[in-house]
């Protein structure tokens, strides 16, 4: 069965569509091959992705077969991205606008699937659509006399089904939360299928808006997998690049590479509660969004400015030992980049390595396109003995992995199989994830 996975993560950068041919292991998944290809709007050359897609990622050992067929990326239009960012976590967005956004995103996801199908000359039979998380509160909090953990992914599945003419599975997270889980992370199911190994422990690391890892000890069964969010991936870097440089991200890590890391600020933030908290744990914009970026800037605030955007280049450090230190705006980006690398390292050292022997980290997500981040991460991991690799080496282009994951999760749900990992989400039991929307007629 060919399944389209549609992912839009917390970065709200756009829509990833990945096509995979999936089958159960004892049944050959494919005879012949669909034309593989990729249209990647940014950053990766088509030839690189075609090379990756020609390798066959094998799930055969886990009684699943997966053949990666192609991937396409569609950035959100600027006004849509802005509306999403404003709506996330907003105490003021109107209900009518949220309902509109839900239907609008359904239209955009459908258009993305249709365009990708056309361009790659692939026809899917099922869509797994994650949607855009607008709110995720993993820890139960009081509300009208009850304690509730809640989540909402926006992007109406019925619209996607009607426009594409395909059955759509969407809303993957609530079933895990209803079973007592944190609703995240869900990608570990794919990580386990792809990377488990009898002889060596491996860590899959995805650096999206948030960074998360899946640690799979050698010879582990599904319930021995450790998975959790390590903290910010690109989210803080993006927010500060926007604020200080009016750029959506620090493209190719150039700003950070030219800046100086303010070690005191890295240490101060790396010591915060979230990082010390034991897994399972999940994070989002609620933890590392606007508020966090604001606080981060508060530690390194432009001299003589009431707001950050109109500041001169000189920035004065507040509340630090060396109060006379002058730093540039680019130092703030460098420091945020260093925090991401440090928090990943700390998570690995604190919560993963004590649990067994691990030999490699396999990285994916948009953060792998930031060479400064990747080289600082390699530096942070230098003494751990872990080899830093890319998911491209395993046949899944690093920017497509999460979309592939939602194709796999949809395939499992379509077959009424459970795919959350209680060891990762904290759920009391496995759950069949998602809801099905059927096309009209």
By CB under 6 A, name the one of 176, 392, 402, 412 that touches ligand ADP. Answer: 402
Taking the CA atoms of 184, 190, 191 and 196 in sequence, report the sign of the dihedral they define: positive
According to the binding rule CB under 5 A, does residue 402 interact with Mg ion? no
User: If you count them, how many residues does the chain have?
Assistant: 441
According to the binding rule CB under 6 A, does residue 250 interact with ligand ADP? yes
By CB under 6 A, name the one of 39, 251, 417, 435 that touches ligand ADP. Answer: 251
367, interface contact from ligand ADP, Mg ion, none, CB < 5-8 Å by kind: ligand ADP
The contact mask relative to ligand ADP for 333-352 (x = CB under 6 A, - = no) is --------------------
According to the binding rule CB under 6 A, does residue 11 interact with ligand ADP? yes
Comparing CB distances to Mg ion, the nearer of 218 and 248 is 248
Comparing CB distances to ligand ADP, the nearer of 73 and 418 is 73
According to the binding rule CB under 6 A, does residue 13 interact with ligand ADP? yes
CB atoms within 10 A of CB 387: 14
According to the binding rule CB under 5 A, does residue 238 interact with Mg ion? no
C-alpha distances (whole Å) from 213 to each of 133, 208, 280, 345 are 19, 11, 11, 11
Comparing CB distances to ligand ADP, the nearer of 68 and 414 is 68
Q: Which of residues 204-223 bind ligand ADP (CB under 6 A)?
A: 208-209
Write down the residue that tokens 């990622």 correspond to: 57
On whether the CB atoms of residues 101 and 88 are closer than 8 A, the answer is no
111-119, 128-136, 249-257, 422-430 -> range binding ligand ADP (CB under 6 A): 249-257
According to the binding rule CB under 6 A, does residue 238 interact with ligand ADP? yes
Comparing CB distances to ligand ADP, the nearer of 331 and 402 is 402
Taking the CA atoms of 377, 388, 206 and 107 in sequence, report the sign of the dihedral they define: positive
| β-pairing verdict for 14-24 and 2-7 | antiparallel
Comparing CB distances to Mg ion, the nearer of 133 and 337 is 133
CB atoms within 10 A of CB 146: 8
The contact mask relative to Mg ion for 1-40 (x = CB under 5 A, - = no) is --------x-x-x---------------------------
Distance in angstroms (rounded) separating the CA atoms of residues 374 and 380: 10
Comparing CB distances to ligand ADP, the nearer of 155 and 201 is 155
User: DSSP states of 115-182 as a string?
Assistant: HHHHHHT---SEEEE--EEEEEEEEEEEETTEEEEEEEEES-HHHHHHHHTS-EEE--HHHHHHTTS-
By CB under 6 A, name the one of 10, 102, 212, 437 that touches ligand ADP. Answer: 10
On whether the CB atoms of residues 236 and 340 are closer than 8 A, the answer is yes
Distance in angstroms (rounded) separating the CA atoms of residues 418 and 156: 23
On whether the CB atoms of residues 226 and 202 are closer than 8 A, the answer is no
176, interface contact from ligand ADP, Mg ion, none, CB < 5-8 Å by kind: none
Please state the closest distance from residue 248 (CB atom) to ligand ADP, in A. 7
Q: Which residues form the interface with Mg ion (CB under 5 A)? A: 9, 11, 13
């Amino acid at each position: 069965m060919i399944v389209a996975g549609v992912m839009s993560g917390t970065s709200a950068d756009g829509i990833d569509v990945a096509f995979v041919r999936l089958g159960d292991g004892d049944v050959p998944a494919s005879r012949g091959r669909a034309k593989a290809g990729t249209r990647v709007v940014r950053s990766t050359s088509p030839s690189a992705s075609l090379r990756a897609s020609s390798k066959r990622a094998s799930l055969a050992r886990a009684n699943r077969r997966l053949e990666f067929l192609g991937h396409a990326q569609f950035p959100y239009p600027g006004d849509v991205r802005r509306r999403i960012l404003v709506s996330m976590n907003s105490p003021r967005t109107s209900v009518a606008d949220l309902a509109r956004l839900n239907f609008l995103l359904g239209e955009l996801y459908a258009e993305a699937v249709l365009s990708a199908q056309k361009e790659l000359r692939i026809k899917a039979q099922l869509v797994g659509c994650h949607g855009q998380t607008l709110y995720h509160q993993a820890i139960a909090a009081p509300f009208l006399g009850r304690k509730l953990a809640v989540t909402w992914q926006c992007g109406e599945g019925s619209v996607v089904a009607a426009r594409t003419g395909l059955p759509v599975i969407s809303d993957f997270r609530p079933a895990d939360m209803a079973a007592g889980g944190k609703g995240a992370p869900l990608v570990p199911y794919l990580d386990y299928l792809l990377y488990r190994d009898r002889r060596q422990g491996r860590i899959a690391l995805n650096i999206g808006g948030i960074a998360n890892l899946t640690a799979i000890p050698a010879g582990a069964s599904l319930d021995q997998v450790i998975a959790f969010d390590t903290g910010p991936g690109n989210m803080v870097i993006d927010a500060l690049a926007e604020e200080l440089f009016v750029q959506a991200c620090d493209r190719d890590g150039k700003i950070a590479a030219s800046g100086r890391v303010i070690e005191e600020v890295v240490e101060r933030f790396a010591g915060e509660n979230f990082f010390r908290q034991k897994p399972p744990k999940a994070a989002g914009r609620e933890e590392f969004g606007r508020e966090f970026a604001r606080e981060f800037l508060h530690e390194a605030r432009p001299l003589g400015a009431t707001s950050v955007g109109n500041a001169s280049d000189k920035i004065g450090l507040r509340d630090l030992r060396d109060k006379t230190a002058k730093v540039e705006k680019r130092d703030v980006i460098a420091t945020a980049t260093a925090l991401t690398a440090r928090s990943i390292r700390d998570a690995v050292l604190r919560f993963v390595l004590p649990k067994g022997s691990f030999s490699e980290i396999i990285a994916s997500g948009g953060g792998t396109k930031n060479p400064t981040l990747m080289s600082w991460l390699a530096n942070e991991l230098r003494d751990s003995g872990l080899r830093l690799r890319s998911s491209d080496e395993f046949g899944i282009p690093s920017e497509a992995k999460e979309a592939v994951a939602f194709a796999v999760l949809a395939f499992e749900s379509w077959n009424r199989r459970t795919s959350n990992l209680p060891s990762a989400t904290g759920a009391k039991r496995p759950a069949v994830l998602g809801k099905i929307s059927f096309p009209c007629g």
